[in-house]
Structure 1
Amino acid sequence: MVLGQLFSKETQAIFFNYKEKPVQRMLDFDFVCGRETPSVAAIVAPGSSGGFQKLFFGKQEIAIPVYGSTAEATRKHPRADVFINYASFRSAYESSLEALRAPTIRVAAIIAEGVPERDTKHLIAFARANNKVIIGPATVGGVQAGAFKIGDTAGTLDNIVACKLHRPGSVGFVSKSGGMSNEMYNVLARATDGLYEGAYGGRRVRRRWAASAEQ
């Protein structure tokens, strides 16, 4: 297993199956954290002919490149070592396995619910055998306070600032519920110096991953 801190202010991701709000929320988080480089390096829209997607980084409009395949995106962006998979449960297994086979991908976050447990166990086994990490399936994602967050993790920008997630604290947190996590972030912001790193899971196989990842 990959041990230690998963993300940093230099971490970049490849976002699979474009969804505007999760990507924009990642960029908004980047901006309030004071990142110099957006955390989304590229978007994969399967079957597309490529191009760019315009989004905002603070008040500045930026163009994020779009590719038709994961292979092309990983080849063009070798420093992007996180794969954020918003595919449906029908294709989450195949697309995640393809990403994990890419030598540059270190962490895969699988958002889809309903991925068969057998497929999930296979993905976890492959990741462990290749010194990689899986977050999910059926996860909201994860967050490294002040550095990097996955998709819709921690909700709106107002909630992120109120919970002090734009700067690192010292508390590590693992939850099986995205809603519960947001409540706990508020508690941590009031009772401690705030979150350092958080991850989310729900099913038995995901809880097992979370426990091993935090050791």
Structure 2
Amino acid sequence: MFSNISQLETGSGVFIRYIKIGFEALHMLYNFLPLNPKPYQLFSLLELNMFVGPGIYYIRNNASSTLFDMDNSRLHLIHGWQKVDNQWNQKWRVVADPNFPDMWSLRNMEAGQYLNLWQNGSETRLVGSNIQTFWWLTQHSDETTSICFPERQDTRVADLHNGSKDNDTPIKLLTWNAERSQKWTFDRISD
């Protein structure tokens, strides 16, 4: 275990940072990274989860200012939509995983569905599902957050297609590229 950690210590300073936040986070870091991580694979770990905490939020895209919105169809597709006051399908309860407090589930307040994935060929859309899924929520220095797929060696994040302001714009899972369409602001509504 420590041979991989020491490689990270010399290359990026990650080791010292994770010792400060506890053994669980260090264990997760070790299990998440490949043996020889590439710099882009560390983006979500360098500032791992400085997220403010559980509560109910609007999730606003940094490029368009549209919100994470769950449609009311049977597919429960997640898309970007202009804010509509008191629309429960635009409100999300964010809760920490009790076993891994650095991972979070996002549950839509209207449908009661959890943020999850739908695979159709090469396209991966975000959808609502009855299956509770946990995500990395990675805060950046500009106070935005990336919603990161929590699988080993995967650098995909929630991306609003072309950062469009149009209603019904798909939100897909795409490889991290640091564009504003992949950054989100969590606007707290309540606890």
- Structure number with greater CO (CA < 8 Å, separation at least 6) is 2
**Whose helix fraction is larger, Structure 1's or Structure 2's?**
1
TM-score by length of 2: 0.23
**Whose strand fraction is larger, Structure 1's or Structure 2's?**
2
